């Protein structure tokens, strides 16, 4: 039978451009999330159909990636779609080409699973159709239903205010073989997915245990592919000839296995492996081996008290999930659900894995905006005939915020009969974008419904975790012993380190090296619960033999009996206490003179020649070990004769025992009396075990001949005063003023204030008989620091050693020498300029030299006189400078010269230096000055001009005299002096601005004027009118000698006289009317003479003008006549 679905668009919903954009984005996001495949940014699903898809026109697209098709050997696969096909792969893994017009592939070489992977969601094909079916032949009528399935199905419907409802019908089966028919009424999913597996939504992102509740999109808890295989979704009832498994390429996949039975689950295995670090607790690894067909939730139950019940308050239940891999490990940390270590019951525990559900299926519908209800019916297994329709869900964790419709019943955990369709909610079109938390109940959510079949199967591990053990820690109340009779208390800390209770607990000594008898071990109890501990004790009294032996060693073990188990014994623990060896011997030496006034025994006695001296030596064993080979040895004896041998009555001493040894001496030499004392020092020795050569402290007795030793010291110096570098020789006269010879004479400096090093004191002799003396000497070179301080003080004592008694030291003898201080400073002042002009910077240096013989400080320079017009900078000296004799320092100051300084011609500067000597007294230097002359360069320039170039008689000419100070010094009393003028008239006085000519600064100018009225004679002479002048002034100061500028002239040209006209032709003679007039000849001759004279005059004038012009161009100042 041909199973074909053609889906076409039925009516177009009008939307604005923004709604279209949102629809495309929603579709792309839905595909990415639902199908787990990367898509283009704006893909739109194309219509799709499967074996028995939905024919409602409101379904714009439906599809899967991929479709699986079971094809038998010799059969064909028919695929027709207007979508691009990613691949069509046969059961041997070979890919086949595809054409949109439809293809028939085959025949199949063997039974197996083919895969059809469509590019669902191609935006170029929003509406389309496809057919997928196996065929027994190439004929279209040979199609077989119930052989096409997928793992996740995508549906895209039209939206809008009145979205069309559709009814969906699927068959779902997983590897456990349970088949459910799933019917959804009034389905409205704009971009939604339908999937089913054995876990559904998860407890956490990393835990594959079922959460058993619906969750929000993007929560991280949605059902994923990594928690077991998804159920197979068939589009019609699975065909009866489907095998349990089939090949798809090189892997075998479940297709339609028989339902998993309780018997198969009962064959599961559970083992336990304790952790290496689990001593004292129950941490370990449980390994479950379960048939690979089982996927879903199961429980690990631990009977912590070992009473064969798994539901007591202290028992532990852990929810786990199987993903079909078959072997599962769970590492238990020994803690209960509250995170606390499971308390030991003292018995072994039991554990089991419990299967109370089988065929568990979680149907997850993602982003479904509306649904009238769902019905799920079991179609095989133990309840196939019953057709169980029990369904569960839990929407309580979902918020109702911004939801326009909610499911009427949010809590269906107890199981609800779904035969009448349940768990629906109203559709809402208020919003449906993937990032909006609003709209209908299922919008942006993964709504979950689940079903399962009850079963009771388990696998157990009995009596695990039993790890009996016991430990002992032995200690003593001391780390050593040092005396017989000490009592040592031993403590035995016994701990039940296992997890089982122990009875008949005891402590047994396995080794004891003490010379005496240790008491019995006493324990507070003989029963120890798991993890419990107790302290047992015993005592021992130290014997002398233990001290001689050196150590007491004690080892013990603890034992106990776990109920029904073999006894356990701890490893031995021992304590070794070393003896503290304190071997010691003491000696007391005493002397007695039976012929002296006092015959008592003591450390000293007086004597005279030939009086017998008796010595006794009391030797005592003051240690804790027996001493053998006890002897007394003389270490010091100063008598001039021989002491008798020391005799001891016994040579072995137990601790605390004593013996008295004796010897005698008779002084027969005057030398014994001369030396004043006879010293006698001895030691006692003995040998102890482990300690050879035990020796006492020395003990002495002295015989005294009374003496009165004394010394006298006089100290002198060879100079009365000093300066730095002087060599001073000190003399120390030491005299023996006592009655005994003094040896080892030395002179000790007790006080010396010199800053340098005094030479060692040298004495020519170091032994003085009574009344004798010697002179010792030392030298010292005075330093600058000594001179600065002002004095050198020296005190000394003399010490000598008498024949007996302590050294004798004289009272101090002192000498003080004053220094000759001569403080003095010298100042030399210089300038870095030999001359200056205005604006020059002059740097002054003040070299201050310590010309005295003591150190000077607080150096400064004071200006006494300064003639500069401006401000001299402060004098700066190096900070905190200190000058030793002959040392110098440079202080500085600077000054910028002014025009007034240059005009004055010199800058004078005088200064004095100050300082303080070592006594803080002020010291002044000589005055020193420096005079810097100004580099004056006075100069005046005169520029003379006239206001007219030509003149006639009566023309007034104005002469201007511009005087410029081109030098560098101010010029005073500026004036103009005429030196040449060829005019025939009187030239006016030169007039200058009064204030400006009094002081003309460098670069400044002043203009003076004079006037002159030209005469006819000046014009008639036909000469150049020339005026020559010079400027004068006093440079630098009005009293300085005058300065004269260059000569400069000004010339003016006279205007020529008019031309004389030529004589006219002779006129007709006039009628004579009376008298005799001049004759015509006379009149004509006069006219000719005048014309000739005028021509000569004119030529001469022109000639003079040419000469004057040439002379002016050549700069000739000579008057032209």
* HEC profile of 239-301: CCCCCCEEEECCEEEECCCCCCCHHHHHCCEEEEEECCCCCCCCCEEEEEECCCCCEEEEEEE
Domain 729-811 has CATH 2.60.40: yes
Please say if the pLDDT value at position 640 is more than 50.
yes
Asked if 471-578 and 940-1054 have one fold, the answer is: yes
Please say if the pLDDT value at position 973 is more than 60.
yes
Residue 450 — pLDDT band, cuts 50, 70, 90? very high
Residue that wins the pLDDT comparison between 439 and 895 = 895
Four-point Cα dihedral 588, 594, 599, 604, nearest 10: -50
Residues contacting 679, CB < 8 A, separation 6+: 636, 637, 638, 700, 702
Average pLDDT estimate for 460-471: 77
| Distance separating alpha carbons of residues 305 and 299, to the nearest angstrom | 18
Please say if the pLDDT value at position 786 is more than 60.
yes
| Distance separating alpha carbons of residues 254 and 236, to the nearest angstrom | 18
Residue 300 — pLDDT band, cuts 50, 70, 90? very high
Residue 72 — pLDDT band, cuts 50, 70, 90? very high
Task: Kindly report the CATH number that applies to the domain delimited by 588-704.
Answer: 2.60.40.10
- Give the tokens for residue 567: 């006894």
Q: Are 488 and 477 in contact (CB under 8 A)?
A: yes
Residue 840 — pLDDT band, cuts 50, 70, 90? very high
Please give the pLDDT value at position 1051.
93
Q: Where are the domains of the chain?
A: 1-146, 262-349+456-464, 471-578, 588-704, 729-811, 825-933, 940-1054
Residue 62 — pLDDT band, cuts 50, 70, 90? low
Average pLDDT estimate for 8-34: 35
Please say if the pLDDT value at position 1110 is more than 60.
no
The percent of residues in the chain predicted with pLDDT above 90, rounded, is 56
Residue 1094 — pLDDT band, cuts 50, 70, 90? very low
Residue that wins the pLDDT comparison between 563 and 918 = 918
User: Domain 471-578 - what CATH class?
Assistant: mainly beta
Residue 386 — pLDDT band, cuts 50, 70, 90? low
The percent of residues in the chain predicted with pLDDT above 70, rounded, is 85
Short-list 553, 579, 565, CA closest to 469: 565
Please say if the pLDDT value at position 448 is more than 50.
yes
User: If DSSP codes are grouped into helix, strand and coil, which group holds residue 1111?
Assistant: helix
Please give the pLDDT value at position 74.
96
| Distance separating alpha carbons of residues 877 and 860, to the nearest angstrom | 7
Please say if the pLDDT value at position 219 is more than 70.
yes
Residue 107 has what DSSP assignment? -
Please give the pLDDT value at position 626.
93
| Distance separating alpha carbons of residues 608 and 703, to the nearest angstrom | 9
Alpha helices in 725-826 (DSSP H): 784-789
Residue 100 — pLDDT band, cuts 50, 70, 90? low
Domain 940-1054, second-level architecture: Sandwich (2.60)
- Give the tokens for residue 681: 């020092």
Contacts for 864-868: CB closer than 8 Å, 24+ residues apart: 864/910, 864/911, 864/912, 864/927, 864/929, 865/908, 865/909, 865/910, 865/929, 866/907, 866/908, 866/909, 866/910, 867/904, 867/906, 867/907, 867/908, 867/909, 868/895, 868/897, 868/898, 868/901, 868/907, 868/909
Residue 1101 — pLDDT band, cuts 50, 70, 90? very low
Task: Name the most confidently modeled range: 5-9, 106-110, 172-176, 1111-1115.
Answer: 106-110
Please give the pLDDT value at position 47.
33
Average pLDDT estimate for 510-518: 93
Compute the radius of gyration of the chain from its Cα atoms. 69
Task: Please give the mean pLDDT across all residues of the chain.
Answer: 84
Q: What is the pTM of this model?
A: 0.45
Residue 83 to residues 39, 62, 471: CA-CA distances in angstroms?
A: 15, 12, 77
Average pLDDT estimate for 626-647: 93
Strands 1048-1054 and 950-951: parallel
Please say if the pLDDT value at position 1069 is more than 50.
no
Residue 255 — pLDDT band, cuts 50, 70, 90? very high
Q: Of 673-677, 728-732, 1116-1120, which range is least confident?
A: 1116-1120
| Distance separating alpha carbons of residues 942 and 1008, to the nearest angstrom | 10
Residues 153-211: pLDDT tens digits? Answer: 888 887 777 788 999 999 999 888 999 999 999 999 888 889 998 889 998 888 888 89
- Tell me which fold the domain 825-933 belongs to: Immunoglobulin-like (2.60.40)
Please give the pLDDT value at position 507.
96
Q: What DSSP letter does each residue of 696-708 carry, written as one string?
A: PPPEEEEEE----
Q: Are 978 and 949 in contact (CB under 8 A)?
A: no
On the CB side of 542, how many CA atoms lie within 13 Å of its CA? 26
Please give the pLDDT value at position 123.
44
Residue 999 — pLDDT band, cuts 50, 70, 90? confident
Please give the pLDDT value at position 499.
76
Q: Of 692-701, 822-831, 1071-1080, which range is least confident?
A: 1071-1080
Average pLDDT estimate for 207-219: 89
- Give the tokens for residue 130: 């496809």
User: If DSSP codes are grouped into helix, strand and coil, which group holds residue 1116?
Assistant: coil
Please give the pLDDT value at position 340.
84
């Amino acid at each position: 039978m041909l199973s074909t679905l053609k889906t076409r668009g039925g009516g177009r919903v009008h939307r604005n451009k923004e709604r279209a954009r949102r629809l495309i984005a929603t579709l792309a996001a839905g595909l990415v999330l639902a199908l787990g495949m990367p898509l283009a940014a704006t893909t739109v699903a194309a219509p799709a159909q499967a074996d028995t898809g939905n024919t409602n026109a409101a379904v714009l697209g439906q599809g899967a990636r991929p479709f699986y098709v079971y094809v038998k050997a010799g059969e064909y696969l028919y695929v027709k779609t207007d979508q691009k096909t990613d691949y069509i792969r046969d059961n041997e893994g070979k890919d086949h080409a595809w054409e949109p017009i439809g293809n028939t592939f085959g025949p199949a070489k063997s039974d197996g699973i083919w895969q059809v992977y469509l590019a669902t969601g191609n935006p170029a094909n929003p509406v389309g159709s496809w057919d997928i079916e196996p065929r027994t032949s190439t004929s279209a009528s040979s199609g077989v239903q119930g052989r096409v399935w997928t793992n996740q199905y995508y549906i895209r419907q039209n939206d809008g205010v009145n979205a069309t409802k559709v009814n969906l019908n699927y068959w779902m089966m997983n590897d456990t073989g349970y088949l459910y028919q799933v019917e959804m009424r009034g389905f409205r999913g704009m971009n939604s997915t339908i999937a089913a597996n054995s876990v559904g939504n998860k407890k956490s992102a990393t835990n594959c245990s079922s959460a058993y509740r619906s969750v929000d999109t993007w929560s991280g808890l949605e059902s994923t592919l990594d928690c077991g295989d998804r159920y197979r979704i068939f589009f019609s009832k699975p065909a009866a000839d489907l095998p349990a498994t089939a090949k798809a390429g090189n892997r075998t996949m479940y297709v339609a296995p028989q339902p998993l039975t309780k018997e198969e689950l009962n064959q599961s295995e559970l083992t336990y492996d304790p952790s290496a670090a689990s001593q004292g607790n129950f941490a370990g690894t449980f390994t479950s081996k379960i048939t690979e067909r089982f996927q879903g939730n199961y429980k690990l139950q631990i009977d912590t008290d070992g009473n064969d019940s798994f539901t007591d308050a202290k028992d532990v239940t852990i929810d786990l999930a199987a993903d079909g891999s078959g072997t599962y490990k769970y590492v238990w940390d020994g803690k209960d659900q509250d995170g606390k270590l499971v308390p030991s019951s003292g018995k072994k525990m039991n554990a089991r894995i419990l299967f109370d559900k089988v065929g568990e299926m979680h149907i997850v519908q993602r982003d479904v905006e509306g649904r009238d209800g769902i019905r799920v019916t079991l179609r095989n297994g133990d309840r196939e005939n019953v057709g169980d329709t029990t369904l569960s869900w839990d929407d309580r964790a979902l918020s109702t915020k911004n939801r326009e419709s909610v499911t009427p019943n949010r809590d269906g955990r107890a199981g609800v009969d779904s035969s009448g369709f349940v768990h629906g909610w109203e559709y809402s079109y208020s919003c449906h974008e993937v990032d909006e938390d609003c709209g209908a109940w299922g919008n942006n959510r993964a709504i979950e419904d689940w079903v399962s079949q009850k079963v009771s199967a388990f696998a157990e591990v009995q009596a695990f975790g039993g790890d009996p053990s016991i430990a002992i820690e032995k200690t003593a109340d001391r780390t050593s012993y040092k005396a017989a009779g000490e009592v040592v208390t031993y403590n035995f800390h016994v701990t039940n380190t296992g997890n089982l209770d122990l009875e008949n607990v005891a402590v047994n000594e396995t080794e004891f090296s003490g010379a005496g008898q240790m008491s019995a071990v006493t324990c507070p109890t003989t029963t120890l619960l798991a993890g419990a501990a107790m302290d047992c004790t015993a005592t021992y009294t130290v014997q002398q033999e233990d001290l001689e032996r050196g150590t007491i060693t004690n080892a013990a073990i603890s034992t106990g009996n776990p109920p029904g188990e073999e006894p356990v014994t701890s490893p031995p623990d021992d304590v070794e206490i070393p003896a503290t060896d304190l071997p010691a011997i003491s000696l007391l030496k005493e002397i007695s003179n039976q012929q002296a006034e006092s015959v008592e025994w003591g450390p000293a006695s007086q004597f005279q020649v030939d009086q017998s001296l008796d010595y006794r030596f009391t030797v005592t064993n003051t240690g804790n070990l027996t001493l053998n080979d006890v002897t007394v040895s003389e270490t010091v004896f100063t008598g001039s004769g021989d002491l008798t041998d020391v005799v001891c009555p016994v040579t072995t001493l137990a601790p605390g025992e004593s013996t008295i040894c004796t010897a005698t001496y008779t002084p027969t030499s005057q030398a014994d009396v001369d030396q004043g004392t006879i010293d006698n020092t001895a030691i006692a020795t003995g040998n102890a075990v482990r300690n050879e050569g035990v020796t006492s402290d020395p003990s002495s007795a002295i015989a005294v001949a009374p003496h009165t030793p004394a010394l006298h010291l006089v100290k002198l110096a060879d100079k009365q005063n000093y300066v730095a570098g002087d060599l001073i020789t000190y003399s120390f006269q030491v005299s023996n003023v006592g009655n005994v010879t003094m040896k080892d004479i030395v002179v000790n400096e007790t006080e010396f204030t010199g800053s340098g090093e005094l030479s060692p004191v040298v004495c020519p002799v170091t032994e003085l008989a009574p009344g004798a003396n010697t002179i010792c000497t030392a030298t010292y070179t005075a330093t600058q620091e000594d001179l600065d301080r002002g004095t050198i003080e020296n005190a000394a004592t003399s010490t000598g050693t008498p024949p007996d008694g302590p050294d004798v030291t004289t009272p101090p003898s002192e000498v003080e020498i004053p220094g000759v201080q001569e403080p003095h400073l010298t100042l030399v002042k210089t300038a870095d300029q030999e001359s200056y002009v205005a604006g020059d910077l002059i740097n002054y240096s003040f070299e201050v030299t310590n010309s005295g013989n003591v150190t000077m400080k607080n150096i400064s320079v004071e200006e006494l006189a300064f003639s500069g017009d401006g401000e001299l900078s402060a004098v700066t000296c190096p900070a905190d400078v200190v000058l030793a004799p002959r040392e110098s320092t440079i202080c500085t100051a600077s000054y910028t010269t002014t025009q007034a300084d240059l005009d004055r011609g010199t800058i004078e500067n005088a200064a004095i230096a100050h300082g303080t000597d070592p006594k803080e007294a002020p010291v002044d230097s000589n005055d020193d000055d420096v005079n810097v002359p100004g580099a004056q360069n006075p100069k005046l320039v005169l520029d003379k001009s006239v206001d007219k170039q030509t003149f006639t008689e009566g023309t007034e000419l104005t002469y201007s005299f511009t005087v410029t100070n081109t030098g560098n010094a101010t010029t005073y009393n500026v004036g103009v002096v005429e030196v040449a003028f060829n005019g025939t008239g009187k030239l006016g006085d030169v007039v200058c601005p009064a204030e400006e000519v009094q002081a003309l600064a460098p670069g400044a100018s002043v203009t003076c004027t004079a006037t002159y009225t030209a005469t006819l004679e000046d014009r008639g002479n036909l000469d150049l009118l020339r005026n020559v002048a010079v400027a004068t002034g006093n440079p630098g100061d009005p009293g300085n000698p005058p300065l004269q500028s260059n000569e400069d002239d000004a010339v003016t040209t006279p205007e020529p006289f008019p031309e004389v006209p030529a004589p006219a032709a002779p006129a007709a003679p006039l009628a004579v009317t009376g008298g005799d007039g001049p004759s015509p000849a006379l009149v004509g001759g006069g006219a000719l003479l005048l014309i000739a004279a005028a021509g000569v005059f004119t030529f001469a004038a022109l000639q003079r003008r040419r000469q004057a012009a040439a002379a002016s161009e050549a700069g000739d100042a000579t008057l032209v006549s």
